[in-house]
Every structure is written in structure tokens, then in C-alpha cells.
Structure 1
Amino acid sequence: MTRLRLRKLGRDLWATRSRVAMMTVAIAVSVLAVTAFLTARAIIGREITRNYQATHPASATLHVPGGVDTATLAAARAEPGVLDATARSTIQARIRVGDGPWRTLVLFASDPADPQRIATVAVETGSWPPLKGSLLLERTALGFLGVSTGRRVTVEASGGAPTPMTVAGSVHDGGVAPAGQEQTAYGYATTTALALLGRPQTLDQLRIVVGDHSTASTSSSVIDRTAQRVAARMKALGHPVGSIDIPPPGRHPHQGQMVMVGFVLLAFGLMALLLASILVATMLGGMLTAQIRQIGAMKAVGARTGQILQMYLALAAVIALTATALALAPGLALGRALAGQGARLLNLDIAGESVPAWVYAVALGAGVGLPLLVALVPLLRGSRITVRQAIDDHGADPAVLGGFLERFLTRLRGPSRIQVMALRNMFRRRGRLVLSVGLLGVAGAMFLTGLNTAGGWSSLVAQSISRRDYDIEVRLDKAYPADGLVALARSTRGVVAAEAWGRTAATVHTAGRVDVAHVYPDEAHDSFTVMAPPADTRLMHLPLMAGRWLRPEDTGAVVLNNLVPAQQAPGTTVGGTVTVTIAGRPVTRRVVGIVSDFGTLGAAYLTDRDYAAVTGAPGQAELLRVVTDRHDPASRQAVLDRLDDALTRSGTGIQQATTIDTLRVALDGHVLVLADALIALAVVMGFVGLLGLASALSTGVLERTREFGVLRTLGATASAIRTVVVTEGVLTAALSLLFATVAALPLTGVFGNFIGNQAFRQNLPFEFSFPALALWSLLTLAGAAAASAAAARRASLTTVREALVSL
């Protein structure tokens, strides 16, 4: 490029420095967002896997009711394909601090001499093994329970008596979810603690690591075959296996949540960058429009189209490179901060903040390559302008001049000449108007889609709670007479209704094999239960996705919730059959319906009559659901405390007792990361859109320099000219609101369905957030007025002399 053209580029940069600054800021903000999101996604994706693998998770857990002794443990380790094995137990218990409420506790127990090579935890305070009468808590449980190391707590195992224990320290377990999200505390103790809690010291779980040489297998089929072979060996040794748990190999319980949030961050980040690239194209197109006569003059003295294109491409490249250079370091820093926040929400330790090379490559390619690619269209169009087109340019699209729209706008009358003039000016450059409206409209559509999706998730939680017409749920340690449970509950002050349900853990059965479940070691994530509500139940109503609900006379029918076909029995549909092991007995039932049951893990529903026949225990129940007279959290908890005392005095063992508020908090906790990400992304979108509007108005003012000079000659005041420009900006923003609202409707449906199916195998309810629309409207119109201010001031300062010398 010659020195003369370089000098022109330099002068153009200085002359349009405000517009160049806007282009640079727009690209920089978008590159910063993309870099931050990619960085956070890369770090969290790496660390969630590393944290989980650092626990050396078991490939499979074999449940051995008779217990695992030294001989069977040695036999398991000797099996081909088994890298290691250990004996453990998982106890469902409750814990309370002082006189506070009971909380759910999952207690993992092992032998004091266990080498801790499988399902290991990192001790942060205290030491392993804990002393007799003490336990270690997962670190997130400390804040959840409001307890510190050295404090005394009360622990009650299923069927046992409340036992004082000491919190001897804390650990980090990368294989469990945060306690606050699950509303469950996780504890770690030895077999000596089991004796204190009234439980046998026998360890009834055989955990094995399956693999080749020293590498754990990530193949579910390989793990399944090996576990079945080990189960056969255990049976031959006189220790039959009841069932086998095989969680998704190498996947953290919240891996799907992380993948979903990562996808949202990436998709919205790239959309922000695309908007910024369109903005740059719009600005460069406006710059070329302002220089049409200069291009015509250069063509007149012999400049070729390629030379002009090269010159303006170099200008775009300088802007993109500068913006990317400015944004890269802050984007990496912000990404690391976001990763840290995500790690806290997912209970992860970040070992290193190094960013893979592909993040730098994508950021550079996106920040430089995409804007140049998008800008190529207006640059090509502008560089091809002929001398005649340059002479004939009047600052308006030729299609508008003399066309129907021009005639319509000319005849248009309104309450104010300023408003009519602003409306006419909007359509002078219809292509630019489309870009401005589209840019701000897409930003608004993304804003509304994001908040609509977050609202849909909240609505799904609210719907789930509203379909549970009870206030308290109590899970018992074994079956008790249903009539006695209901009578005791109804005699408790504050209880207005109660129902006793059948409930037990279950597995899908395949003939000739030990049953396999895909539940995690916490025995909650991906678990499967069978439930039997009373025939006339009024405490739950579930919407049907297919088929019908149970009839009182049904004895060979089952209704599944939507998670069972997705997790436990793939391919199961209405009209087919499913074989389930209930109380040690495999039974086959015809699937008559599938229901949406958000908030409940995998569940199969039988009639109480059928359940009694299968279990051989008519009139027995393991679940109590209660309706209270008042429905605020404090009143529910007070009734639960009284009911808990009454059940305990009657000798009824409680496994878990919670209010419906606990479930709501747990469900809301799973969407916190997503909601925060969507709101942050929406703000980025809106900022880029407003920059686009400011650019379009600035370009329009430059094009109409002579027009504003004429207006000043005719007596127009500076205030009137400013009002024309600001009104034009506000009207453009108002038009974008219509576009954003219409575009957000299908986007909300598509995006919500994707998110819902990824997370819970069902669509999110369609929610259109009118408060979000009101907020976006307020921000857009106020932002448009503010974005128009600089262009309006520039227009109001136009003098007659400037108009006369304007080319």
C-alpha cells in the first residue's frame, strides 16, 4: 500500500475517531465475552472431570446383603478386568445441629484399615480415620448445616436412636453435588460409628474399578460384563449379590448441568460476536457512504476497485486487531473469574487456570476473521461505486426516491412536524434501517429469550410444587401399618389431612442377570423407586405425557415418570411392558401411561392394591404425606417438628422428613448457574445493539450535513434539530421492540425445549416474561435516547458554512 493511501487511512481514522472507537469497543466487548465464556467453559469442563477422577470413583457397586468379608474381597480383586476393589456401606440418616431442624444425611462408611484407593476424599481439616464417636463432613455441608469443626451434632440412622457425634473435620469429595443444591449433607465415618448408630458393622457394598492394566474403563458394556462376572463369583462363594449400581462412567453427577451451561455460554457468546461483526459492517458501510464522493474522486483519477477495497479492508483489519488485542487479556481474566464462581457452585477445586491453545485460536479467529468476513459485503459494495453513482448520491436509497414509500411519507401528517420528519428520515436508508432494527432487535430477542427461558425453568419448578398437594413428606425406614400412620398424623396439631403410600427402591430386571441400576453412590442421582398411592389420593396430580393414569382396579399396570424411559428402561413406551424387581421379586407390568414428574427421580407408580399383592404386605406403607393448616415455611416446619416427635415416640423409624419448601430450594438451586449466565449474556447483547443504533444515527447525521445546514438557514433552532435526531433514534428503537418481541416467541420455545430436555428430559413451560419486555423496552428507549445524544449534538452544531463545503 502506497504512502499516500496510508496517509488517507490515517486521516480517515482521525476524522471518524468516534465511530472507530465505537467499532473497536463493540468488537472488544464481544471478543471479551466470547473469550471469557470459552475460558470458563474450558476450565470448568477440565476441572469437573479432574475433580471427579481424583476421587478414583468405583466403576460399579455390588450390593451384597450378607456383607463383604476378606475372602470375597480378595476373590473380587482376583477377577480378570478388576483393577481394585473395596468394601463400603452407604447409610441413609438424618443430622441436626442443636435444636435446629433435621436434615438429610448420607453417611459413607468404611473400615478403619481401608487404604482409601477407591472413592477417596481429600481431608481438609482433621484427619482420617476419625476417632470413635466422630465423623467428617463434606465441606459444603458445613455451611449448609451452619456447623464448624469440633461442634457436636445429633445423628440418627434409619431405625436407630439419635446419637451425639462430633464433627472431627471436613473433606472435599469431588464425586458429590454441593450440599445446598441437594439439600443433603454428606458424612464420612468408619464402621465404629455404625455400631454407635445402632447399625451392624458389616459393610454390604463391594465397589470395584474395572479396567485394563492401570486405566479405568469408560465403557458401560465392559463394566456391566465384568460386574456380572464378579457377581457370579460372589454367588459361588456364598455371598449372592442383590443388585449392581453402574453410574455413567467418568461423569460427575452434575456433568450434564455443566455441559448445558457451557452450551448456553458458547451459543450466546458467538451470537454477541456475530452482532458485533454486523455492527462493524454497518459502521464501515456508513463510513463508505459518507465518503462516496471521495471514492468517486479517487475513481476519477484512476483508482481501481481492488485498490480501494484493499485500503478499507486494511482499515477494518486494524480496528479488529486493536479490539481483539484490547479484549484478550481482560477476557481471559474474566473467564477465570467465571470459572471460579462456577467451581464454587459445583463444589470443584481448580488446580490450574491454564487455558488451552484452542481458546486463543478461536478468540483470535473470531475477533479478527469474523468481523472482516462480515464487513466484506459492504466494503465490496462501496468500493464498486462508479463516478456517476457518486455524483448522483443524495443520502437516500434510490428505491425510496419517488417510490410508494416516499409518496406515502410525503403525504403523512402527524401531531408534530418533528415526529413526521424523524419518521421520514428513518427510511432514507432502508438497508441501514434494517440493520439497525435487526441488530437491536436480535439483541432484544436474545435478552427476552434468555429471561423467558429462566422464567420457564422457574415456572417448571412452580408447577411441580403446585402439583404436590401436600406440605410434608416423611420417608420411613421400613413398612408400618398405614392406618396407624394416618391416624397418628391426623392427631398431630396443625395437620388437616394425611395419606400413607407404599414406596420402595426398585431396579429394572433382565432375566438371567443381576439387576443393574444407573444410580450414583449417593443413592439419589438417577435412582429408581416404586410408589403406590392410595386409590383415592388427592395429594398429587401429575400431567400425562402419554397414555392414562392408574385405575383403582388395575393389577397388572404401571405408570412411569418421564425419567424412567430415558435413564432406567430405554425404549419403553405406552403399551409395552417393563419388568421391575420389587422387594426381591421380579414382576412384569404393562405400561399404561407416562407422566411428567419434575422434581422426582425415576419412579414407577402401581395401585395400592397391586403393590400389596407384590410385596405380600397389605395395609403397609413406607411414605407419609401430610397437609398442614398453614402453608408458610415456618408453620410447615413447626408441624414437621411435632409430627417427627410423635412418630419417634411411637417407635416409628424415620429415614427422611422434609417440607415442600426443601424441595423447592433444591430445584431452584439447580438453575442458579443457568439463570445468572443468561442475564449476563443478555446485558452484553443489549450493549452491542445500542452501539449499533448510535453508529447508524451518527452516520445519518454525517450524510445529512447539508440538510441540517439548510434547516439552520430556514430558522430551525439547535433544540429542534436535536429533537429530530433523538426522535429518529427512539422510533428506530421502538420498531426494534416489535421485531424483538416477535422473534423471541419461537426462540423461547426452541431454546426452552432444548434446555429442558437436556436437563430433565422434558420441555420447559412456555413463559413470556412481560416484566422482562417492560425492562428491555425501558432500557432500549432510554438507551436509544442516550445513544442519539452525541449524533443529535453533532447535528445541532452544523453551520451553514459546513453545509456549503460538505462534499
Structure 2
Amino acid sequence: MTALRLLKIARDLWSARTRIAMMIAAIAVSVVMVTTFLSARAIISQEMTRNYAETHPASATVHVPGGVDADALAAVRAQENVLDATARATLQGRIRVGDGPWRTLVLFVSDPGDPQRISRVALQEGSWPPPEDGLLLERTALDYLGVPAGRQVIVAAPGGTPTTMTVTGTVHDGGVAPAEQEQTVYGYATTATLGTLGAPPVLDQIRVLVGDSDGPTTDAAAIDRTAQRVADALAARGRPATGIDIPPPGRHPHQGQMVTVASVLLAFGIVALLLSSILVATMLGGMLTAQTGQIGAMKAIGARTGQVLRMYLIQAAAISVAATAIAVPPGLALGPLLAGQGAELLNLDVAGTPAPGGVYAAALTAGIGVPLLVALVPLVRSSRITVRQAIDAQGTGTAVPGGRVERVVARLRGPGRTQLMALRNVFRRRGRLVLTAGLLAVAGSMFLTGLNTAGGWSALVSRSIEQRSYDAEIQLDQGYDAVRLTELALDTPGVRDAEAWGRTATSVHDPGRTDVAHVYPDEAHASFTVLAPPAGTRLMRLPLTAGRWLRPDDTDAVVLNHLVPAQQVPGITVGDDITLTVAGRPVTRRVVGIVSDFGTLGTAYLTDRDYAALTDVPGHTELLRVVTDRHDPAGHQAVLDRLEHTLAAAGIGIRQSTTIDTLRVALDGHVLVLADALIALAVVLGFVGLLSLASAMSTSVLERTREFGVLRALGATTTRIRGLVITEGVAIAILGLLLAAAAAVPLTRMFGDFLGTQAFRHTLPYVYSLPALVLWTLLTLAGAAAASAVAARRASRITVREALTTL
């Protein structure tokens, strides 16, 4: 390429420096987003696998109520495909600091001499094993409880006496979620600590690692076969297993949730990149429109189409390279920060983890390749302009007078002359109008969809809370007489209503096999429970998705919540039979209904009559739910404290106690990163859309230089011309706003269904946020006026002389 052509390219870039800066900004913003999300997604995916793998998670947990001795453990280790095995126990208890509220405690217990090769944790402070009056806490529990290491806490085992213990250190367990998010404290101790708490110092679980010479396997069927052989071997030695837990192999408890969230964020980033690329194409088209005469002159002296195309491709490449050079470093810096936010949601360590090499290649492709590819369309079109076409371009636009739109506009009554002229000019270039309004519509629909989705999540949480008409619940350490429990509760000051519910853990029974559950070692994620509400319960109303609710006289029917078909018995539906192990024996029931039960883990509902017949002591229950006379968090907690004191004085042991506020906090905590990211993305998309409007208006003014000169010659004032251009911009923005408002209706539904189903096994309620629509309307109109102001200022300064000299 000759020096003369390079000089022209440089001069063209400099003369359009304002527009060039807008293009660079548009690409840079989008590339920053894409790079950030790509690197964050790659880091989280990589570290989620690494963090979880470093815990050496057990492939299966076999429950042996009689306890495990050395001979039984040796027999398990000798089984085919068993790489290793160890004895453990899990205690569900409570913990408090001083006079503060009781919190749920999950205590993982092992022998002091356990080599910690399976389900291991990383010691961060203190030493292992802790003393018998001490315990280690998962690191996230310290902030949740508000205590430092070395502080004393009060711990209560089910049915035991509250005992003062010392937090001797902290660990990082990559297999559990943060304490604040789950509203649960995870502790680590030895069998000696069990004795201190008054619980039997028995290790009643065998954690098994299944695999072959290549290492641990993620084949669920192979794990199941091996675990069944282990159970058979234990039974042959007089230690029968009551159940087997097999969590999804190699998957963090929140992996599905985070993969979905990361995919959604990446999709939004790609949309932003496409928007910015189209914006660059429109801006380049506008620049080339201003140079139509120059292109014609070059063609007249012998320039070929390919030569012209290469010149402008170099300009586009320079813009893309500059934008990418600006965007990639901050994108790579922000990626780990966003990954860190996601890591907090998963309790992962990601400090210092660099983005994989593929992210760099993707960032360069996004920043250079995509904009150039999209820009080819206007570049090729402009480079093919003939000398005749260049001469015919007079800077007065290309509206066809007398068209249908013009006739409709002419019949309008009410708008003034300036407004009518502006409306006609809006439809002057139909293709550009569609593109500009479309960009604003896409940006607006994404903005509204993002905020609508966040609103849908809030609505789902609120609806879940509203379906629960109780304010607090207490899980008991064993079954107690339901009538006595209810009377004790109603005699407690502040309790307005109370119900005793049957509750017990369950699993799907398959004849000839030891029951298998898909619960994680925390015995919460993917757990399965039977609940038996009193007939005509007043404290919960669950919406049916299929079938019917239980009738008081049902003794062979069961209602499942929505998680059971997803997690426990894939594909089960109304009319099918399900066999469950309840109170140690298998029972078969017909599924008569499936309910939407967000906020509750996998649950099968039986009638209280049926449940009483299945239990060893009819009329005894393990769950108490109460309604308080105050409905604020402090009031709920105060009444719960009094009720706990009443029950303890009556000799009733408590396993866990929570208020409804704890459930709300736990549910909200699962999507904070998503909600914040959606709002940030919506703002960025809106910014890109308004840049497209500014570009379109600037291009329009350049094309109509002679028109504005004529208006000036006819006496149009500066204010009138500025008003004309700004009105055009606002009219285009209103059109984009209407399209966005309409498009957001189906997009919100589709996005809410996808996100809810993939991440939470529950579609989100449909919410169309009017505040979000009002906010976007205000932002769009104000942004349109501001985006059009520069073009309006340029138009108002065009003189008659300048118009006459326009080529």
C-alpha cells in the first residue's frame, strides 16, 4: 500500500476522531464484558473441580447404625474397586455464641488417628485433632457467628445438655457451601468430642472411595454396584447397613447452579458484543456516507473496488485492534474479581488463578474478528459505489415522498410543524431506522428481562414464604406425643397457633438392595424426607402442579414435591407407585399429586393417619411448627427462644430450630451474584444501545447537510433545527422502547423458565416489573436526548455556504 493511501487513512481517522472514539468505546466495553465473563467462567469451572477434588470426596457413604470396627473397615477395603475407606459420623446439632440465637450445626466426626485421606479438609488455623472440649469450624462460620478462633461457643447435641466448647481453629472444606448462605455452621471434631457432648462416641458411617487403577470413578452405576457389595459384606459380618448415600459423582453441591449462572452471564456478554459490532458497522457506514464523494473521485481516477475496500478494512482493523488492546487487560483483571465473587457463593479458593490460554484467543476473536466480520457488509457496499452513484448523492437523504408512512404522518393532528417534520425524517432511511431501533430494542429487552428475572426470583422467594403460614419450626431429637407438644407450645407466651407434624428421613426402596439416597455428606443437599401434616393443616398451602392433595382418610397415597421427580425418582408422575423406607420398613404408595414446594428439599407428604400407622409409637411426631403474635425477625426469635425454654423444661430434646426469616436469607443468598450481575449487564447493554442512536443521528446529519442549509436559508432558527434533530432521536428511542417492552414479555418467560429449571429445578414466577419499565423509559428518553444533542449541535451550525459546497 502506497504512502499516499496510508496518509489518507490516517487523515480519515483523525477527521472522524470523535466517532472513532465512540466506536472504540463501544467495542471496548463489550470486549471487557466478554473477556471478564469468559475468564471468570473458566476460572470458576477449573477451581470448582480442583477445590472439590482436593477434598477427595467419598464416592459413597454406607450407614452402619451398630458402628464400625477395624475388622469391618478392613473387609470393606478388601472389596473389588474400593480404593480406600474410612469410618466417620455426622452429628446434627446446634451452636450459639453467648446469649445469641441457636444456629444449625453439622458436626463431621472422625477418629483422632484418621489419616484424612477421604473427605479431607485443609487446616488453616489451629491443629488436628482438636481437644475433646474443642472443635474446628469451617472458615466461613466465623463471620456468620461473629466469633474469632479461640472464642468459646455453646454446642448442644440432640437430646444432650448444652456444653461450652472452644473454637480451636478453622479449616477450608471445598465440599460445603458458605455458612451464611446455608444458615448452617459446619464443625469438625473427634469421637472424644461426642462423649463431651453426651452423644454416643460411635462412628456409624463408612466413607468409600470407588475406582480403579486410573483413580476414582465418576460412573454412578459402578459406584452403586460397589456400594451394594460393601453393604452385603457388612451384613455377612453381622453389621447390616441401613442405607447408602451416593451424591452426584465429582459434582460440587452447587455446581449445576453456578454453571447455569455462568452460562447466562456469558450469553449476555455475547449479546453485548454483537450489539457493539453492529454499532461499529452502522458508524462505519455513516463515515463512508460522508466520504461518498471521495470514493467516487477515487473511482474516477482509476481506483479499483478491492483497493478501496482494503483501505477501509485497515481503518476498521485499526479501530478493532485499538479497542481490544484497551479492553483485554481490564477484562482479564476483572475476570478473577468476578470469579472471586462467584467463589464466595461456592466457598472456593481462586486467589492467584490465571485465566486459561483459551480466554486470550477468545478475547482477540471477540474484539477483532467479530467487529471486522460484521463491518464487512457496509464496507463492501460502500466500496462498490460507482462514479454515477457518488455524483447523485446530494446530501439530502433518500426519502421517497408520498409513501404510505408519509401519508399517515401527514394526516396526524396535534403535533407541530417541527414534530411532523421530525417524524417524516425518522422514516427517511428505513434500513437505518430498523437497525437503530432494533439495537435499542435489544438493549432494552435485555435490560427489562434482566430486572424482570431478578424480580421473578424475589417473587419466588416471597411466594414460598407466603405459602408457609408458620413463623418458626423446631425439629426434635425423637418422637414426642403430638398433643402434649401442641399444648406446651400454645401455653408459651407469644405463640398464637401450633401444629405437630410427623417427620422422618426416607429413601427410595428397591427390593433386594440396600436403599440408596443421593444426598451429600452434609445430609442436606439432595436429601429426602417424609412429612405428615395434621389433617386440614392451617400452616401450609402448596400449589399443585399435577393431581390432588391428600384427603384425611388416605392411607395408600402420597404427594411428592417437585424435587422428587428431578432428584430421587426421575420421571415419576401422578398415578405411579413409589416404594419408600419409612421408620425402617418399605411401604408402597400411589402418587396422587405433585406440588410446587420451593424452599423445601425433596419431600414426600403422607397423611397423619397413615404416618401414625407406620411408626412404632403412633401419635408421636418430631416436628413442631408455630405461629407467633409478632411478625418481625426479632419477634420471631424472641418467641422461639421462649418456646425452646418451655420444651427443655419439659424434658423434650431439640435437634434444630429456625425461624422463617432464616429460610428467606438462605434462599436469597443463593442468587446474589446473579442478581447483581444481571443489573450491571443491563446497564451496559443500555449504554451500547444509546451509542447506536448517537451514531445514527450523527450519520443522518451528515447525509442531510444540504437539507439543513436549505432550512437555514428559509429562516429556520438554531433552536428549531436543534429541536428537529432531538425530536427525531427521541422518536427513534420511543420506537425502540415500544419494541423492547413488547419483546421483554416472551423473553422474560423463556429466560425465567430456563434459569429456574436449570439452576433451581423450579420455574420462576412471571414478573413484568413496572418500575424497571419506567426506569428504562426515563433512561432511554434522557439518553436519546443526550445522544442526539451532539448531532443537533452540528446540524444547527451548518451554514448556507457550507451546504452549497457539500459534494
TM-score higher than 0.5:
yes
Question: What residue number does 1:297 align with?
Answer: 297
Which whole-Å CA distance do the structure 2 matches of 1:241 and 1:122 have between them?
A: 30
> CA contact under 8 A between 1:284 and 1:378: conserved in structure 2?
yes
Question: What residue number does 1:792 align with?
Answer: 792
Residues 208-287 of structure 1: matches in 2 within 5 Å?
208-213=208-213, 215-287=215-287
The alignment partner of 2:538 has SS state of coil
| Deviation readout 1:333-354 (Å, 9 max, x if unpaired) | 0111111222223211115422
Question: What residue number does 1:49 align with?
Answer: 49
The alignment partner of 1:734 has SS state of helix
Question: What residue number does 1:200 align with?
Answer: 200
> CA contact under 8 A between 2:561 and 2:596: conserved in structure 1?
yes
> CA contact under 8 A between 2:123 and 2:170: conserved in structure 1?
yes
1:394 Cα deviation after fit: 4.5
Which whole-Å CA distance do the structure 1 matches of 2:529 and 2:79 have between them?
A: 31
| Deviation readout 1:244-302 (Å, 9 max, x if unpaired) | 00101111111112101111111000000000011011111112222222222333333
Which whole-Å CA distance do the structure 1 matches of 2:642 and 2:35 have between them?
A: 54
Compare 265-274 and 355-364 and name the one that shifted more.
355-364
1:410 Cα deviation after fit: 4.6
Question: What residue number does 2:7 align with?
Answer: 7
Which whole-Å CA distance do the structure 1 matches of 2:359 and 2:788 have between them?
A: 36
> CA contact under 8 A between 1:48 and 1:348: conserved in structure 2?
yes
Sequence identity percentage = 71
> CA contact under 8 A between 1:56 and 1:119: conserved in structure 2?
yes
> CA contact under 8 A between 1:712 and 1:800: conserved in structure 2?
yes
Flag the 1:390–1:695 CA change in 2: closer, same or farther, 3 A: same
Question: What residue number does 2:586 align with?
Answer: 586
Question: What residue number does 1:59 align with?
Answer: 59
Amino acid aligned to 1:579: T
Which whole-Å CA distance do the structure 1 matches of 2:546 and 2:41 have between them?
A: 37
TM-score (norm 1): 0.98
Residues 328-727 of structure 1: matches in 2 within 5 Å?
328-395=328-395, 398=398, 400-410=400-410, 412=412, 414-727=414-727
The alignment partner of 1:209 has SS state of strand
1:411 Cα deviation after fit: 5.2
1:370 Cα deviation after fit: 1.2
Question: What residue number does 2:771 align with?
Answer: 771
Question: What residue number does 2:99 align with?
Answer: 99
Which whole-Å CA distance do the structure 2 matches of 1:407 and 1:480 have between them?
A: 82
1:462 Cα deviation after fit: 0.6
Which whole-Å CA distance do the structure 2 matches of 1:680 and 1:353 have between them?
A: 24
| Deviation readout 1:643-666 (Å, 9 max, x if unpaired) | 010011111111111110110000
The alignment partner of 2:33 has SS state of helix
Question: What residue number does 2:185 align with?
Answer: 185
Amino acid aligned to 1:434: V
1:717 Cα deviation after fit: 2.5
Question: What residue number does 2:28 align with?
Answer: 28
Amino acid aligned to 1:453: T
Q: Does 1:754 align with 2:754?
A: yes
Question: What residue number does 2:85 align with?
Answer: 85
Which whole-Å CA distance do the structure 1 matches of 2:606 and 2:397 have between them?
A: 70
> CA contact under 8 A between 1:395 and 1:428: conserved in structure 2?
no
Which whole-Å CA distance do the structure 2 matches of 1:160 and 1:628 have between them?
A: 27
1:413 Cα deviation after fit: 5.0
Question: What residue number does 2:804 align with?
Answer: 804
1:418 Cα deviation after fit: 2.3
Amino acid aligned to 2:612: A
1:553 Cα deviation after fit: 1.1
Flag the 1:204–1:214 CA change in 2: closer, same or farther, 3 A: farther
1:7 Cα deviation after fit: 2.5
1:214 Cα deviation after fit: 5.7
Which whole-Å CA distance do the structure 2 matches of 1:171 and 1:736 have between them?
A: 53
> CA contact under 8 A between 1:85 and 1:206: conserved in structure 2?
yes
Kindly report the root-mean-square deviation, in angstroms, between the aligned alpha carbons of the 2 structures.
1.4
| Deviation readout 1:391-448 (Å, 9 max, x if unpaired) | 3335566563342223444555544322222222211111111111111110010010
Question: What residue number does 2:169 align with?
Answer: 169
Question: What residue number does 2:742 align with?
Answer: 742
The alignment partner of 1:130 has SS state of coil
1:635 Cα deviation after fit: 0.9
Compare 307-316 and 360-369 and name the one that shifted more.
307-316
| Deviation readout 1:686-723 (Å, 9 max, x if unpaired) | 11111111111111111122222222223322222222
> CA contact under 8 A between 1:176 and 1:522: conserved in structure 2?
yes
- Number of aligned residue pairs: give it: 807
The alignment partner of 2:506 has SS state of strand
> CA contact under 8 A between 2:293 and 2:390: conserved in structure 1?
yes
| Deviation readout 1:494-535 (Å, 9 max, x if unpaired) | 111111010000000111111110000000000000011111
The alignment partner of 2:29 has SS state of helix
> CA contact under 8 A between 2:396 and 2:707: conserved in structure 1?
no
> CA contact under 8 A between 1:612 and 1:618: conserved in structure 2?
yes
Which whole-Å CA distance do the structure 2 matches of 1:673 and 1:278 have between them?
A: 29
Which whole-Å CA distance do the structure 2 matches of 1:408 and 1:713 have between them?
A: 28
Amino acid aligned to 1:359: V
Compare 567-576 and 295-304 and name the one that shifted more.
295-304
Flag the 1:401–1:7 CA change in 2: closer, same or farther, 3 A: farther
Amino acid aligned to 1:144: Y
Which whole-Å CA distance do the structure 1 matches of 2:515 and 2:508 have between them?
A: 6
Which whole-Å CA distance do the structure 2 matches of 1:11 and 1:727 have between them?
A: 33
| Deviation readout 1:584-637 (Å, 9 max, x if unpaired) | 101111111111100000000011111111224321111111111121111111
> CA contact under 8 A between 2:242 and 2:514: conserved in structure 1?
yes
> CA contact under 8 A between 1:27 and 1:320: conserved in structure 2?
yes
Question: What residue number does 1:151 align with?
Answer: 151
Which whole-Å CA distance do the structure 1 matches of 2:586 and 2:720 have between them?
A: 84
Which whole-Å CA distance do the structure 2 matches of 1:396 and 1:406 have between them?
A: 17
Which whole-Å CA distance do the structure 1 matches of 2:399 and 2:792 have between them?
A: 26
> CA contact under 8 A between 1:47 and 1:351: conserved in structure 2?
no
Amino acid aligned to 1:749: R
Which whole-Å CA distance do the structure 2 matches of 1:396 and 1:96 have between them?
A: 78
Which whole-Å CA distance do the structure 1 matches of 2:453 and 2:640 have between them?
A: 34
> CA contact under 8 A between 1:414 and 1:420: conserved in structure 2?
no
Amino acid aligned to 1:186: Y
> CA contact under 8 A between 2:509 and 2:515: conserved in structure 1?
yes
> CA contact under 8 A between 1:413 and 1:420: conserved in structure 2?
no
Amino acid aligned to 2:530: V
Gaps of 5+ in 2: none
Which whole-Å CA distance do the structure 1 matches of 2:747 and 2:756 have between them?
A: 14
Amino acid aligned to 2:317: A
Amino acid aligned to 2:193: A
> CA contact under 8 A between 2:506 and 2:580: conserved in structure 1?
yes
Amino acid aligned to 1:800: V
> CA contact under 8 A between 2:336 and 2:354: conserved in structure 1?
no
1:20 Cα deviation after fit: 1.2
> CA contact under 8 A between 1:563 and 1:760: conserved in structure 2?
no
> CA contact under 8 A between 1:132 and 1:192: conserved in structure 2?
yes
1:80 Cα deviation after fit: 1.5
1:93 Cα deviation after fit: 0.2
| Deviation readout 1:451-500 (Å, 9 max, x if unpaired) | 11111111111110000011111111111000000000001111111110
Residues 121-140 of structure 1: matches in 2 within 5 Å?
121-140=121-140
